[in-house]
């Protein structure tokens, strides 16, 4: 594989901004002037204005702007501002003044960390001509301990502006560190490719392995070369590449061609030899940015939707996922074990389901695997919560159609209510209730978790998702989102809080009156919020812990509230006894009929009655005015005047 200049990416899209900092009198300004003008200056101002290097100075032809700085205390604010806007930082010390070298670690590098300036750093020893031959140790010996401590240092170099020694190289390395950074690709301490780099290169390898035989043939290797570097490889060059790999790594080449192991070895070799531009060119040709994720132009544009619209996977995307499931179910046991899931996501930057809210959100088999329904339900959850990330992940695992074809935006729930039906296949249910009411037990039951003997409070939002089988073989996906008691107030502080909610369930401990009172209070708050914002939601009441004796007036209280608010009577259940009263099917049924089971508060009823009377009055006034108008022009002969009837 031949290297080549890569286009600017990431922060370098509009050019590279290099900030030069260091102690006073360490040669900062002379370094900049000599690089720009190719002449050593006799007089330089204390601080130079921003300096542009000639665009054709380096092969990448990316604009480079150099910012000079002052280390004086009175200019500190400006220095901080410049450093925080840098794409790369050049730190200078004077070769003939060891104390300025010591200040790099005791002050400058520590200061960059304190300011959270996370950009490549180039350490430059200036005025090499003044040191003479007095230095007893090499630059590598001096800088190695500092570079071990400060991994952000990309390169160390010594130069002389007076004698024009290695001046262009200083800013070439700085520019290169921005365009082709080492940190995302290579762990210098372990001397290995970083996991995210390996995953990206594995995906690229698979995309180029057209016959899916696990190796790049000579023809496939040549196609890859042309795509990335716009030049074919000669037959002798292909033989040479494979020979280099095979000499170092026998399993890197087999009878079919270059294996994935060999492909990764080649890139590690390029990086070790300082040819990072080769690997970056490959990554960028396949749409990766500096974080080794797909760049925005590879993904659908931001989704424009109303708050009460949701996003679901299309039939095409679901079919793709079904095929993927069976492809990675290597042991054909109808479930994906953890190692199979890891293999599936091995071409993505990371496994998205290893973190909340997905990590424990779906039902697992007895052996800890994901069934097809569990697998698809997690994808539905990810698409609901973060649709662009969902599409991005689909692309990583091989979805080859137009990314926009993978998702669809549902109809507004407000319109669903008017039409008295919904076309959604994924419903989100908010689960409210006071502490120790049984919310978590309900979610655990939903995904097949055993009843916990000890109470563990939920501190943040938690999700559970599963597929609900409907009559006639239809399937709906239900997402339960547990809202902790202390999170209700924060949730309702947002106007659109209920827009994403298709149905709400209010859980209370039927053996404790305070639990019922708190759940009722939440129900009224949610109903009031819905009435005020227009995001009314169907609501169900769950009387949990039915295995315990109810408190004295539980039946009368719950019947009165459900009748007053116009919703279904509380649904008794006991997760401990496994008596669920078909709660999840009933929840889906409520979501499918968005115009029913909507609670009304007393204030809501009063407003509705007021508007009804007001509309009636307007009709009356309108009719009376029409008659007056008629009478004003004179009642027409032979016609009745409405006025006579009032």
What pLDDT is attached to residue 191?
Answer: 87
Beta bridge partners of 188: none
**Crossing angle, helix 387-396 and helix 372-385, to 10 degrees?**
130
Beta strands of 197-286 (E only): which ranges?
215-216, 253-254, 257-259
Q: Report whether 287 contacts 297 (CB < 8 A).
A: yes
Element at 583 (helix H, strand E): helix 583-592
Asked if pLDDT for residue 631 goes beyond 90, the answer is: no
> pLDDT digit string (tens) for 347-364?
999 999 999 999 999 999
Task: Using pLDDT thresholds of 50, 70 and 90, give the confidence band for residue 621.
Answer: low
Helices 372-385 and 315-328 meet at what angle, rounded to 10?
A: 130
pLDDT of residue 614: 66
Q: Which is more confidently placed, 626 or 330? A: 330
- What is the per-residue pLDDT for 430? 98
Whether the pLDDT of residue 3 is over 60: the answer is no
Query: pLDDT value at position 142?
Result: 83
The yes-or-no verdict on residue 156 having pLDDT over 90 is yes
Structure confidence at residue 137 (pLDDT):
64
The answer on pLDDT for 25 being more than 60 is yes
Residue 67, helix vs strand vs coil: strand
Radius of gyration for the chain, computed over Cα atoms and rounded to the nearest angstrom: 34
List the beta strands (DSSP E) in 388-474. Answer: 407-409, 426-432, 462-469
Residue 407 contacts residue 383 (beta carbons within 8 Å): yes
* CB contact set of 508 (below 8 Å; sequence gap of 6+): 433, 434, 437, 438, 515, 516, 518, 519, 520, 541, 542, 543, 544
pLDDT at residue 606 is higher than 90? no
Per residue in 226-257, pLDDT (tens digit) is 999 999 999 999 999 999 999 999 999 999 99
pLDDT at 42: 81
SS3 category, 288: strand
Residue 139: both structure tokens together: 């630059």
What pLDDT score was predicted for residue 635? 40
pLDDT band, residue 640 (cuts 50/70/90): very low
d(CA 430, CA 598): 14
Taking residues 126-137, what's their average pLDDT? 75
Sign of the torsion formed by the C-alpha atoms of 150, 153, 156 and 161: negative
Confidence label for 223 from pLDDT (cuts 50, 70 and 90): very high
Tell me, what's the pLDDT at 59? 83
pLDDT of residue 639: 39
Strand-pairing partners, residue 93, are: 125
Whole-number Å distance between alpha carbons of 29 and 208: 48
Instruction: Please enumerate in sequence order all residues whose Cβ is within 8 A of that of 339, keeping only pairs 6 or more positions apart, or say none.
Output: none
Give buried/exposed letters for 234-273 (b at 16+ CB in 10 A, else e).
eeeebeebbebbeeebeebbeeebbbbbbbbbbbbebbee
DSSP code, position 436: T
CA distance 156 to 516: 69
Of 15, 38, 36, 40, which is closest to residue 27 (Cα–Cα)? 40
491-529 residues labelled b (16+ CB within 10 A) or e (exposed): bbeeeebbbbbbbbbbbbbbbbbebbebbbebbbbbbbb
Q: Residue 626 pLDDT more than 70?
A: no
How open is the CA angle 384-389-390, to the nearest 5 degrees?
55
Are 360 and 348 in contact, with CB atoms under 8 Å apart?
A: no
Report d(CA 591, CA 537) in Å as an integer.
8
Q: Taking a C-beta distance cutoff of 8 angstroms, is the pair 349, 393 a contact?
A: no
Read off the pLDDT band of 9 (50, 70, 90).
very low
What is the pLDDT, as a whole number, of residue 66? 97
What's the pLDDT score for residue 641? 40
Predicted pLDDT of residue 578: 78
In a 3-state reduction of DSSP, which class is residue 120? coil
* Mean pLDDT (the chain, rounded): 89
- For 116, 204, 213, 264, 270, the CA distances from 179, given in Å and listed in that order, are 20, 20, 34, 21, 16
Residue 136 has pLDDT above 70, yes or no: no
Q: What pLDDT is stored for residue 622 in this prediction?
A: 53
Report pLDDT digits (tens) over 182-211.
889 998 778 899 999 999 999 999 999 999
Out of 78-87, 230-239, 329-338, 574-583, least confident range: 574-583
Mean pLDDT on 539-548: 92
Strands lying side by side in the sheet with 88-94: 51-52, 64-68, 16-22, 88-94, 121-126, 153-158
pLDDT score at 237: 94
pLDDT of residue 282: 97
**pLDDT above 60: residue 637:** no
pLDDT of the residue at 130: 87
pLDDT grade, residue 620 (50/70/90)?
Answer: low
pLDDT over 80 (residue 133):
no
Give how far Cα 233 sits from Cα of 237, 239, 271, 473, Å.
Answer: 6, 10, 21, 55
Q: Tokens 């279904």 map to which residue?
A: 568
Determine the pLDDT at residue 628. Answer: 44
| Confidence bin at 604 (pLDDT 50/70/90) | confident
pTM of the entire predicted model: 0.84
β-pairing verdict for 407-409 and 335-336: unpaired
pLDDT at residue 274 in the model: 85
Q: Is the pLDDT of residue 275 over 70?
A: yes
């Amino acid at each position: 594989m031949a290297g080549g200049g890569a286009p600017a990416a990431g922060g370098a899209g509009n050019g590279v901004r290099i900030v030069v900092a260091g102690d006073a009198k360490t040669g900062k300004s002379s370094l900049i002037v000599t690089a720009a003008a190719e002449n050593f200056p006799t007089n330089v101002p204390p601080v130079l204005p921003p300096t542009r290097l000639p665009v054709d100075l380096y092969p990448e032809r990316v604009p480079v702007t150099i910012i000079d700085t002052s280390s004086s205390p009175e200019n500190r604010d400006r220095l901080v501002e410049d450093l925080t806007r840098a794409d790369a930082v050049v730190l200078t010390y004077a070769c003939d003044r060891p104390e300025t070298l010591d200040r790099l670690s005791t002050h400058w590098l520590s200061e960059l960390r304190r300011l959270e300036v996370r950009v490549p750093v180039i350490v430059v020893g200036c005025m090499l001509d003044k040191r003479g031959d007095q230095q007893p140790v090499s630059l590598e010996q001096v800088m190695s301990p500092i570079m071990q401590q400060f991994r952000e240092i990309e390169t160390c170099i010594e130069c002389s502006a007076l004698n024009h020694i290695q001046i262009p190289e200083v800013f070439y390395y700085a520019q290169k560190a921005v365009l082709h950074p080492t940190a995302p690709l290579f762990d210098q301490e372990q001397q290995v490719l970083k996991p995210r780099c390996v995953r990206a290169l594995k995906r690229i390898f698979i995309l180029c392995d057209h016959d899916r035989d696990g190796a790049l043939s000579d023809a496939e290797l040549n196609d890859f070369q042309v795509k990335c570097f716009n030049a074919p490889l000669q037959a002798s060059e292909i033989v040479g590449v494979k020979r280099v790999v095979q000499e170092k790594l026998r399993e890197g080449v087999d009878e079919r061609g270059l294996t994935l192991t060999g492909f990764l070895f080649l890139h590690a070799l390029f990086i070790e030899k300082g040819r990072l531009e080769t690997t970056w060119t490959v990554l960028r040709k396949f749409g990766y940015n500096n974080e080794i994720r797909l760049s925005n132009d590879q993904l659908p544009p931001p989704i424009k939707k109303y708050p009460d619209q949701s996003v679901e996977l299309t039939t095409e995307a679901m079919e793709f996922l079904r095929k993927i499931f069976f492809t990675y179910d290597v042991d054909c046991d109808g479930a994906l074990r953890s190692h199979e899931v890891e293999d599936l996501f091995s071409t993505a930057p990371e496994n998205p389901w290893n973190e909340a809210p997905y990590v424990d959100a779906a039902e697992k088999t007895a052996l800890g695997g994901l069934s097809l329904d569990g697998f698809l339900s997690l994808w539905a959850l990810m698409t609901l919560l973060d649709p662009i990330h969902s599409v991005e992940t689909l692309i990583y695992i091989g979805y080859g159609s137009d990314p926009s074809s993978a998702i669809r935006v549902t109809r507004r729930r407000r319109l669903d209510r008017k039409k008295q039906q919904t076309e959604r296949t994924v419903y989100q249910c908010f689960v409210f209730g006071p502490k120790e009411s049984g919310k978590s037990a309900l979610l655990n039951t939903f995904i097949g978790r055993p009843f916990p003997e000890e109470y563990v409070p939920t501190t943040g939002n938690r999700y559970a998702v599963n597929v609900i089988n409907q009559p006639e073989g239809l399937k709906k996906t239900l997402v339960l989102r547990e809202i902790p008691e202390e999170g209700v107030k924060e949730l309702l502080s947002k106007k659109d809080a209920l827009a994403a909610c298709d149905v709400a369930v209010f859980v209370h401990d039927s053996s404790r009156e305070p639990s019922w009172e708190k759940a009722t209070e939440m129900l009224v708050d949610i109903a009031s919020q819905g009435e005020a914002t227009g995001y009314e939601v169907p609501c169900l009441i769950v009387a949990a812990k039915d295995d315990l004796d109810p408190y004295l007036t539980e039946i009368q209280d719950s019947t009165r509230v459900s009748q007053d608010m116009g919703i279904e009577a509380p649904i008794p259940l006991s997760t401990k006894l496994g008596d669920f009263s078909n709660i999840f099917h009933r929840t889906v049924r409520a979501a499918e009929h968005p115009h029913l089971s909507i609670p009304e508060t007393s204030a809501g009823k009063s407003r509705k009655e007021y508007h009804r009377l007001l509309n009636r009055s307007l009709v009356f006034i309108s009719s009376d005015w029409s008659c007056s108008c008629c009478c004003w022009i004179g009642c027409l002969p032979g016609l009745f005047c409405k006025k006579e009837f009032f």
